[in-house]
Amino acid sequence: MVLNAQNIIAVFNNFKHSSKFNSYSELTSGHINDTFLIKTNGVHDFVLQRLNSYVFKNAKQVVLNKVKVSEYIQKQINSTDNQQVLSFIKTVDNLPYYEDEEGAIWNLSIYIKNSKTFLKVESKEIAYEGGKLFGQFLNLTNGLSVNEIVDIIPNFHKMSFRYAQFYEALKNASKKRVELAKLEIEKVIALKNEMHILENLKSNGKIPVRITHNDTKISNALFSETNKGLCVIDTDTVMAGIIHYDFGDAVRTICNTANEDETNLNKVSFNINFFEAFTKGFLKKIYKQLTLLDVENLALAAKTITFIMGLRMLTDFLNNDMYYKTTYEFHNLDRAKNQFKLVDAISENFNKMNEITFMEFKKLK
Binding site for ligand GN1 (CB under 6 A): 30-32, 55, 215, 217, 234, 236-237, 260, 309
Asked if 316 interacts with Mg ion (CB under 5 A), we say no
Sheet holding 115-116, edge to edge: 115-116, 221-224, 229-232
Nearer to Mg ion, 40 or 235 (CB): 235
Shortest distance, CB of residue 207 to ligand GN1, whole angstroms? 20
* Residue 309 touches which of Mg ion, ligand GN1, none (Cβ within 5-8 Å per kind): ligand GN1
String of contacts with Mg ion for each residue 199-228, x by CB under 5 A: ----------------x-------------
Q: How far apart are CA 30 and CA 208, in angstroms?
A: 29
Nearer to ligand GN1, 105 or 356 (CB): 105
Give the CA dihedral 282, 286, 288, 292, nearest 10 degrees.
Answer: -50
* Residue 303 touches which of Mg ion, ligand GN1, none (Cβ within 5-8 Å per kind): none
Q: What one-character DSSP code corresponds to residue 268?
A: -
* Residue 129 touches which of ligand GN1, Mg ion, none (Cβ within 5-8 Å per kind): none
Give SS3 for 201.
Answer: helix
* Residue 55 touches which of ligand GN1, Mg ion, none (Cβ within 5-8 Å per kind): ligand GN1
Between strands 34-40 and 88-89, the pairing is unpaired
Longest dimension (CA), the chain: 57
Residue 115: phi, psi to the nearest 5?
Answer: -120, 160
Asked if 246 interacts with Mg ion (CB under 5 A), we say no
* Residue 243 · residue 210 · CB < 8 Å: yes
Shortest distance, CB of residue 55 to ligand GN1, whole angstroms? 5
Residue 361: phi, psi to the nearest 5?
Answer: -65, -45
Nearer to ligand GN1, 314 or 356 (CB): 314
Asked if 294 interacts with Mg ion (CB under 5 A), we say no
Q: Would you tell me which residues interact with Mg ion (CB under 5 A)?
A: 215, 234, 236
